[in-house]
Chains A and B, each alone.
Chain A
Amino acid sequence: MTANTPAVRMTGIIKRFPGVLANDQVDLTVYPGEIHALLGENGAGKSTLMSILFGIYRPDEGEIEVHGRRVRLNSPRDAIQHGIGMVHQHFMLIDVQTVAENVTLGLNESRFLLNLAQTKRRIVELAQRYGMQVDPDARIWQLSVGEQQRVEILKMLYRGADVLILDEPTAVLTPQESRDLFITLRRMAAEGHAVIFITHKLDEVMAISDRITVLRSGRVVSTVRTCDTNKEELARMMVGRPILFHVDKPPVQQGEVVLTVQGLQAANDKRLPALQGVSFAIRQGEILGIAGVAGNGQRELAEVITGLRHASRGCVRIRGREVTNATPWRIIKQRVSHIPEDRLGVGLVPNLPVSDNIILKDYHEPKFSRGPFLDRPSIRRFVDQLIRLFEIATPNPETPVKLLSGGNLQRTILARETASVPDLLVAVHPTRGLDVGATESVHKLLLEQRSKRAAILLISEDLHELLALSDRIAVLYEGEIMGVLPAQNADVEKLGLMMAGALREAVPSGCQEGIARDAHPN
Chain B
Amino acid sequence: MRIRIEKRLSPSRLVSWLMPLVSLLLALALGAVLLQAVHVDPLRTYRAMFMGAFGSRYNLSETLVKAIPLMLCALGVSVAFRMRFWNIGAEGQLAMGGIAAAGVALFLPRQAPAMSGWMLLSLSALAGFAAGAAWGLIPAVLKAYLRVNEIITTLMLNYIAILLVEYLFYGPWKDPKGYGFPGTAEFTPAAWLPRLPGTRVHLGLLFSVLAALFIWTVLTHTKWGYEIRVIGENPRAAAYAGMNLARNMILIMLLSGGLAGLAGMAEVTGIAHRLTKGLTVGYGFTAIIVAWLALLDPWIILLVAFLLAGLLVGGDQIQITMGLPASVALILQGAVLFFMLGGQVFKQYHIASSWRRDKVVERHEAHSNQEAGR
Touch between chains A and B, by CB atoms below 8 Å: yes
Residues on B close to A: CB < 8 A?
10, 221-224, 226, 229-230, 233-234, 236-244, 358, 362-363, 365-367, 369-374
Report A18-32 CB contacts with B as 1/0, cut-off 8 Å: 111000000000000
Q: Is the CB of A58 within 8 A of B358?
A: yes
* Chain B residues closer than 8 Å to A3, beta-carbon distance: none
23 pairs, CB–CB < 8 Å, chain A vs chain B: A17-B362, A17-B369, A18-B363, A18-B370, A42-B373, A306-B240, A328-B241, A331-B242, A332-B242, A343-B371, A347-B237, A347-B240, A349-B230, A349-B233, A350-B234, A352-B230, A361-B241, A363-B223, A372-B222, A374-B226, A402-B10, A433-B370, A433-B372
Q: How far is the CA of A48 from the CA of B238 in the complex (A)?
A: 33
Q: Which B-chain residue is minimally distant from A17 (CB atoms)?
A: B366
Chain A nearest CB, measured from B175 CB (Å): 45
Report A341-375 CB contacts with B as 1/0, cut-off 8 Å: 01111111111100010001101100001001110
Q: Which A-chain residue is minimally distant from B217 (CB atoms)?
A: A373
* Chain A residues closer than 8 Å to B229, beta-carbon distance: 349, 352, 356
* Chain B residues closer than 8 Å to A328, beta-carbon distance: 239-242
Are A373 and B223 also in contact (CB < 8 A) when A58-B358, A344-B371, A346-B237 are? Answer: yes
* Chain B residues closer than 8 Å to A349, beta-carbon distance: 229-230, 233-234, 237-238
Q: Is A340 located at the chain interface by the 8 A CB criterion? A: yes
Q: How far is the CA of A358 from the CA of B344 in the complex (A)?
A: 30
Q: Is the CB of B242 within 8 A of A361?
A: yes
Q: Which A-chain residue is minimally distant from B234 (CB atoms)?
A: A349
Chain A nearest CB, measured from B162 CB (Å): 36
* Chain B residues closer than 8 Å to A201, beta-carbon distance: none
* Chain B residues closer than 8 Å to A373, beta-carbon distance: 221-223
Beyond A352-B233, A363-B226, A461-B373, 15 extra complex contacts between A and B, CB < 8 Å: A18-B370, A42-B374, A47-B374, A57-B362, A58-B358, A328-B239, A329-B244, A345-B236, A347-B237, A356-B226, A361-B241, A369-B223, A373-B222, A374-B222, A402-B10
Chain B nearest CB, measured from A459 CB (Å): 12
Chain B nearest CB, measured from A6 CB (Å): 27
Q: Is the CB of A374 within 8 A of B223?
A: yes
Q: Which A-chain residue is minimally distant from B374 (CB atoms)?
A: A47
* Chain B residues closer than 8 Å to A393, beta-carbon distance: none
* Chain B residues closer than 8 Å to A344, beta-carbon distance: 371
Partner of A372, one of B223, B238, B242, B370: B223
Chain A nearest CB, measured from B313 CB (Å): 36
Q: How far is the CA of A306 from the CA of B242 in the complex (A)?
A: 10
SS of B interface (majority): helix
Q: How far is the CA of A173 from the CA of B371 in the complex (A)?
A: 27
Q: Which B-chain residue is minimally distant from A45 (CB atoms)?
A: B374
Chain A nearest CB, measured from B7 CB (Å): 12
Q: Is the CB of A406 within 8 A of B371?
A: yes
Chain A interface size, as a band, is 35 or more
Q: Which B-chain residue is minimally distant from A351 (CB atoms)?
A: B233
Q: How far is the CA of A429 from the CA of B374 in the complex (A)?
A: 12
Closest 5 A-B residue pairs measured CB to CB? A329-B242, A432-B373, A17-B366, A328-B242, A349-B234
Q: Is A338 located at the chain interface by the 8 A CB criterion? A: yes
* Chain B residues closer than 8 Å to A364, beta-carbon distance: 223
* Chain A residues closer than 8 Å to B239, beta-carbon distance: 308, 328
* Chain B residues closer than 8 Å to A20, beta-carbon distance: 370
Q: Which of A446-492 contact B (CB under 8 A)?
A: 461
Q: Is the CB of A43 within 8 A of B223?
A: no
* Chain A residues closer than 8 Å to B226, beta-carbon distance: 356, 363, 374
Q: Is the CB of B223 within 8 A of A360?
A: no
* Chain B residues closer than 8 Å to A352, beta-carbon distance: 229-230, 233
Q: How far is the CA of A403 from the CA of B359 in the complex (A)?
A: 21
Chain B nearest CB, measured from A28 CB (Å): 19
Are A374 and B241 also in contact (CB < 8 A) when A344-B371, A351-B233 are? Answer: no
Q: Is A230 located at the chain interface by the 8 A CB criterion? A: no
Q: Is the CB of B240 within 8 A of A346?
A: yes
Report A301-337 CB contacts with B as 1/0, cut-off 8 Å: 0000010100000000000000000011111100000
Q: How far is the CA of A350 from the CA of B232 in the complex (A)?
A: 11
Q: How far is the CA of A19 from the CA of B363 in the complex (A)?
A: 11
Interface core residue of A58, A344, A348, A373 (most chain B CB under 10 Å): A373
Partner of B242, one of A327, A343, A351: A327
* Chain B residues closer than 8 Å to A331, beta-carbon distance: 242
Chain B nearest CB, measured from A365 CB (Å): 10
Q: How far is the CA of A39 from the CA of B211 in the complex (A)?
A: 63
* Chain B residues closer than 8 Å to A351, beta-carbon distance: 233-234
Q: Is the CB of B240 within 8 A of A429?
A: no
Q: How far is the CA of A340 from the CA of B240 in the complex (A)?
A: 9
Chain B nearest CB, measured from A62 CB (Å): 16
Q: Is A376 located at the chain interface by the 8 A CB criterion? A: yes
Partner of B370, one of A338, A403, A406: A406
* Chain A residues closer than 8 Å to B233, beta-carbon distance: 349-352
* Chain B residues closer than 8 Å to A403, beta-carbon distance: 10
Q: How far is the CA of A47 from the CA of B365 in the complex (A)?
A: 13
Q: Which of A403-447 contact B (CB under 8 A)?
A: 403, 406, 429, 432-433
Q: How far is the CA of A518 from the CA of B64 in the complex (A)?
A: 69
Q: Is the CB of B374 within 8 A of A18?
A: no
Interface core residue of A17, A327, A461 (most chain B CB under 10 Å): A17
Q: Is the CB of A18 within 8 A of B222?
A: no
Q: Is the CB of B374 within 8 A of A43?
A: yes
Chain A nearest CB, measured from B201 CB (Å): 32
Chain B nearest CB, measured from A435 CB (Å): 10
Interface core residue of B238, B358, B372, B373 (most chain A CB under 10 Å): B373
Q: Is the CB of B373 within 8 A of A43?
A: yes
Are A308 and B240 also in contact (CB < 8 A) when A403-B10, A433-B373 are? Answer: yes
Q: Is the CB of B373 within 8 A of A429?
A: yes
Chain B nearest CB, measured from A349 CB (Å): 4
Chain B nearest CB, measured from A89 CB (Å): 11
Q: How far is the CA of A42 from the CA of B230 in the complex (A)?
A: 33
